Amino acid sequence: MEKAVFNWSGGKDSALALYKAKPLYNIQYLLTTVNNAYKRVSMHGVRESLLDRQAESLGIELLKAGMPENAVMEEYEKIMNTHITKIKSEGIGVSIFGDIFLEDIREYRESKLRQQNIKAVFPLWKKDTRDVALEFISLGFKAIVVCVDGSKLSKDFAGRDIDGQFLADLPKDVCPCGENGEYHSFVYDGPIFANRIAFKTSGVTERELCANGKKYVNYYCDLE
């Protein structure tokens, strides 16, 4: 099997994509971007300690790409290139992602990896997102919502488990997988894990962010 690195977010799409990729590729590493200032997974806000527990249960070595707070694209690409160079030097020629339908993101990933002669693979690409969410649940995966875009979902979605009722309660204009950033999740159990990830919740916090000159609010369910 070809050697591969898996771009791991800790969320449900990553988990399902990894489940599908494991029989096909020799996955050497999980690669995750982490905010250096807060010691948390970028975007999801999950503590590094929980990320470490996931990797340990998965039995795959974890590479952390540490990012400065509010990193600009040039900084991001420089840091990622350092890790890609290491990966390539070890004979790894495949990089796997959990993206489903965002064409611009796929094109960006493919173009950057092509420069290093690394192939990008997307196990969930163009699958119906409701089917993806239902398959995730039916396989026995367990995940909790850790981040919610306040412009798309109400605060009470943060901290909920992803199950059939969760999907039924989502507004019709929200992607069932949250592919547009409506929500992010933390997977704590499922068929690819050796053991359930222990954690406890410590409330929901609100954080005001700014992007492209516009302010918005995210709700985070903190896990520890």
Asked whether residue 113 falls in the same domain as residue 158, the answer is no
Report the number of distinct structural domains present in the chain. 2
Q: Is residue 130 part of a domain?
A: no
The pLDDT, as a whole number, for residue 212 is 64
Give the model's pLDDT for residue 210: 64
pLDDT of 70 > 80? The answer is: no
C-alpha separations of 212 from 51, 149, 209, 215, 216 in Å: 29, 16, 10, 8, 11
Q: Could you report the per-residue pLDDT of 16-39, keeping only the tens digit for each?
A: 999 999 999 999 999 999 988 778
CA 70, 124, 219: angle at the middle one, nearest 5?
Answer: 40
Residue 58 placed within a domain? yes
Proportion of the chain above pLDDT 70, given as a percent = 98
> Domain check: are 105 and 27 in the same one?
yes
Is residue 131 one of the residues assigned to a domain? Answer: no
**Lowest-confidence pick of 27-31, 65-69, 152-156:** 65-69
Is 167 within the bounds of a domain? yes
Mean residue pLDDT of the chain comes to 94
List, edge to edge, every strand of the sheet that includes 201-211.
183-189, 142-149, 214-223, 201-211
Residue 162's domain comprises: 141-223
Give mean pLDDT, residues 58-64: 97
What's the pLDDT score for residue 44?
79
What would the pLDDT profile of 98-123 be if each residue is shown by its tens digit?
999 999 999 999 999 999 999 999 99
* Burial classification of residue 48, based on how many CB atoms lie within 10 Å of its CB (0-12 exposed, 13-18 middle, 19 or more buried): middle
With tokens 């700014």, the residue in question is 210
